[in-house]
Structure 1
């Protein structure tokens, strides 16, 4: 994690249906992922 004032920690959640069903129905199983990446300041 960047020090205060030097950047931020960007966290992006992702939910993927992983069941063996192909079609227009809810997936029977899901996988939840969270990507985290340190980023620099957007504004100077």
Structure 2
């Protein structure tokens, strides 16, 4: 938020998602969980 970030797009599905959501909420940053992975380990 200090750098001007207003939103985060992420796949979700982590066991620590609730911590990430809480941190985004506390910072006033919108978070969108897509349910789709954006990369894969090759």
- Greater share of strand: 1
TM-score by length of 2: 0.19
Q: Which has more helix, going by share of residues?
A: 2
Using the size of structure 1 for normalisation, the TM-score is: 0.19
Question: Which of 1 and 2 has greater Rg?
Answer: 1
